[in-house]
Amino acid sequence: GSCRRVIQPTGGMVRVVVWTAPRCVSTALEKALAGATPRVDVMHEPLSKHYYFGPQRVSERYAGQPPDTASDATPDGVFERILAAGDGERGAHVVVKDMAYYLDGYDVRAAVRCLRAGDVRHAFLVRSPRATVPSLYKA
């Protein structure tokens, strides 16, 4: 990963990536944060575009569709978007909710270096398998 753009937070702005797995009630957290204040911008699973549709897609789920060649269909493009988010007059905090497995096949160390350079904080949302596994069968 190249991660060409590095932006430092200003005015106390915080960028947080919440890494999670399916059925961990992460979308409920995401919606609660999105409605909490106008100074919080929430990005919903930006790496999913890379995982399902990007030029180096990992999943075969949508293999019949042509790859998306937009810059945000690559992990580096997503990281640049995260680092640029929150810039502007509002100085909004940024919360990114994404699935950890969307980085499958990507150099995770490069992702960490890139996001560290932008002073991005990381949180991990997990849920007990006793709740997660039955939830997968109900979905």
Tens-place pLDDT, residues 15-58: 899 999 999 989 898 888 888 777 888 999 999 999 999 998 99
* Residue 10 covered by a domain: no
* Residue 48 covered by a domain: yes
Domain count, the chain: 1
* Residue 110 covered by a domain: yes
Tens-place pLDDT, residues 64-111: 999 998 888 888 889 888 888 876 656 678 999 999 999 888 888 888
Domain carrying residue 134: 15-138
* Residue 105 covered by a domain: yes
Distances (CA, A) of 112 to 69, 94, 120: 23, 17, 9
Domain of residue 102, CATH code: 3.40.50.300
* Residue 56 covered by a domain: yes
Distance CA 82, CA 116 (A): 12
* Residue 1 covered by a domain: no
